[in-house]
Amino acid sequence: MVVENSISDLGVISDVTLPIKIDKDGTVTWTPGNVYETSCDIDTTFYPFDKQTCSIVLTTRGYTSKELELALDKKPIVLTAYQENGEWTLLSVSYDTTLTSRDLLKYSQITFSFTFQRRSSYHVMTTIIPMFLLAFLSCYVFKLPVDAGEKLGYCLTVLLAFAVYLTLVSDNIPTTSTTVCYLSVYLLLMLGCGVSTVLLTIHIIDLYLTPEEEKIPKYLLTLTKSLSKLVCWKHGRICGNENQASVSVINVKNGDLEPETLKGHLEDCNKEDAISWKIAAKVLDIFLFRVYIILVLSLSAVFICLMYLGPP
């Protein structure tokens, strides 16, 4: 007999040092023992919440099924010597006898199957939760004012952290191309979001630092007005003269300004010249912050549903 899926050697079951017990009724008892390394197809789709089924295949060598037929005892798998593993939990065991074809001949075969589930607590604490936190950190780059001077450095730091986590996850996942790990896809999408935040941040900083003397293009004016309504900006804020409007109101109450003067000042907010480069950059920041929050929440919800509802 041989271990069919052995990877270390031919896997022949033999032990010349172990005596064979022969009873008076002709029963021969032989209990060889050894450690065999076998191959196992890994499905990493739901890593680290995955389940794996590995098998040990025993078959005859040189004797067809007509000459030698393998049979199973009532309890062919004894788990008394099994020790719990720190990474895997044994869920179930099964066994079956089949026939396999080799060189146009039929051979008897026994398959012992073991189903394991990965212990995911360690991976949740060290990979999943930090990854979610980093995903939300990438959104808050649009909350950071340009005047702070740390806007670009902040998003580059988050992007670098995502790249490091992607490397760590790739090192822990078995290298196989037969299946795609959802965790790697999620990290890759978050990495793409991080790259896009860097590019958008550079564009927003460029808008913010553009000299006010330069005329704002028509498309930017239209975009800023549309986005200001979408993010529920007040019209007084979009004109960029909140402080002046407040001062005018106070002056009207004190009798320093005529109501017509205040009315004319507020009407200036409808003019295109009231929208500055800095206002356009601020509106883009607010809009992109909300877009990225919704995007990260949606991707995270889909990932969690796939992890908990997807494994069989």
Most confident by average pLDDT, 76-80, 169-173, 263-267: 76-80
pLDDT score at 311: 62
Q: What is the pLDDT of residues 117-158, one digit of tens each?
A: 999 888 888 888 888 888 888 888 888 888 887 888 888 888
Q: How confident is the model at residue 23 (pLDDT cuts 50, 70, 90)?
A: very high
* Tally of structural domains, the chain: 2
Can you give the pTM of this predicted structure? Answer: 0.74
Give the separation between CA 312 and CA 301, rounded to whole angstroms. Answer: 19
Least confident of 33-42, 43-52, 63-72, 253-262: 253-262
Least confident of 55-59, 91-95, 217-221: 217-221
Whether 175 and 206 map to the same domain: the answer is yes
Of 199, 268, 273, 195, the closest CA to residue 235 belongs to 268
* Cα 151 to Cα 119, 138, 172, 267, distances in angstroms: 39, 11, 33, 34
Whether 283 and 158 map to the same domain: the answer is yes
Domain boundary (91, 119, 147) is at: 119
In a domain, 268, yes or no: no
pLDDT score at 274: 67
Domain boundary (58, 89, 119) is at: 119
Domain containing residue 108? 2-119
Give the separation between CA 7 and CA 4, rounded to whole angstroms. Answer: 9
The CATH number covering residue 86 comes to: 2.70.170.10
Whether 138 and 109 map to the same domain: the answer is no
**Phi and psi at residue 87, in whole multiples of 5°?**
-110, -25
| Sequence-ordered strand ranges (E) for 24-76 | 28-29, 51-59
Q: What is the pLDDT of residues 97-128, one digit of tens each?
A: 998 888 888 999 999 999 999 998 888 888 88
Of 309, 305, 299, the closest CA to residue 134 belongs to 299
pLDDT score at 91: 92
